[in-house]
């Protein structure tokens, strides 16, 4: 643990600090934040939208939102990079889903409903990663693939049904049961 803390202090400004300074309207921190995170977030928009120019346009929107909403991170429960990925992923999903974005107000309400920030997030992340991988392993492999496909590729029920060559209703039933199992495992 002591070793971990030392490594942290030697690192460049933490992403959480850059988000906090961005919330204070520090433009150079915002630029640093972009330099540190844009490749990750472009990876997110590109994977979900699967089109370079759409992904680029989405990335622009994402950083506009990050500037406008950086103050909300302080109240949020995500680790800093997860929060940024969530902003990118949600925006890409909005673009993907029939180009009819859900009212931002709703997302804002849910952001505020998040818990308090967790200073030990980094260590928690690594144990949780094991746990979700372990829990996904407990599902049949094609069902675990559906969960990953929904999260990482933004696949809808329709796309998942087509990809797995089953009727839509079968896919819904499959996945809903899998999600319940997964939740049970995750909260155990």
Quick check: 18 binds another protein (CB under 8 A)? no
Which residues in 101-120 contact another protein (CB under 8 A)? 102-103, 106-107, 109-110, 113-115
Task: Read off the DSSP letter of residue 13.
Answer: S
Separation between Cα atoms, residue 121 and residue 98, nearest integer Å = 35
- Please state the length of the chain: 188
Quick check: 181 binds another protein (CB under 8 A)? no
Quick check: 39 binds another protein (CB under 8 A)? yes
Q: Are the beta carbons of 144 and 136 closer than 8 angstroms? A: yes
* The residue to which tokens 């630029």 are assigned: 31
Phi and psi torsions of 71, nearest 5°: -65, -25
Q: 148 Cβ partners below 8 Å, 6+ apart?
A: 136
Q: Name the site residues for another protein (rule: CB under 8 A).
A: 27-28, 31, 34, 38-44, 46-47, 52, 56, 59-60, 63-64, 67, 77-79, 81-82, 85-86, 89-90, 93, 97-98, 100, 102-103, 106-107, 109-110, 113-115, 124-125, 128-129, 131-133, 147-148, 150-152, 154, 156-157, 169, 172-173, 175-177, 179-180, 182-183, 186-187
């Amino acid at each position: 643990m002591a070793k971990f803390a030392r490594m942290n202090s030697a690192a460049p400004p933490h992403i959480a600090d850059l988000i906090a300074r961005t919330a204070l309207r520090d433009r150079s921190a915002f630029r640093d934040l972009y330099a540190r995170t844009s490749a990750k977030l472009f990876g997110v928009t590109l994977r979900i939208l699967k089109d370079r120019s759409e992904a680029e346009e989405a990335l622009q929107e994402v950083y506009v939102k990050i500037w406008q909403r950086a103050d909300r991170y302080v109240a949020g429960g995500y680790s800093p990079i997860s929060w940024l990925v969530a902003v990118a992923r949600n925006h890409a999903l909005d673009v993907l889903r029939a180009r009819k974005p859900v009212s931002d107000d709703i997302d804002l309400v849910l952001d505020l409903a998040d818990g308090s920030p967790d200073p030990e997030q980094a260590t928690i992340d690594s144990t949780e990663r094991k746990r979700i991988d372990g829990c996904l392993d407990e599902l049949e492999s094609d069902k675990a693939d559906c969960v990953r496909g929904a999260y990482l590729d933004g696949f809808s029920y329709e796309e998942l049904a087509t990809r797995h060559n089953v009727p839509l209703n079968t896919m819904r039933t499959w996945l809903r049961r899998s999600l319940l199992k997964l939740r049970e495992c995750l909260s155990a």
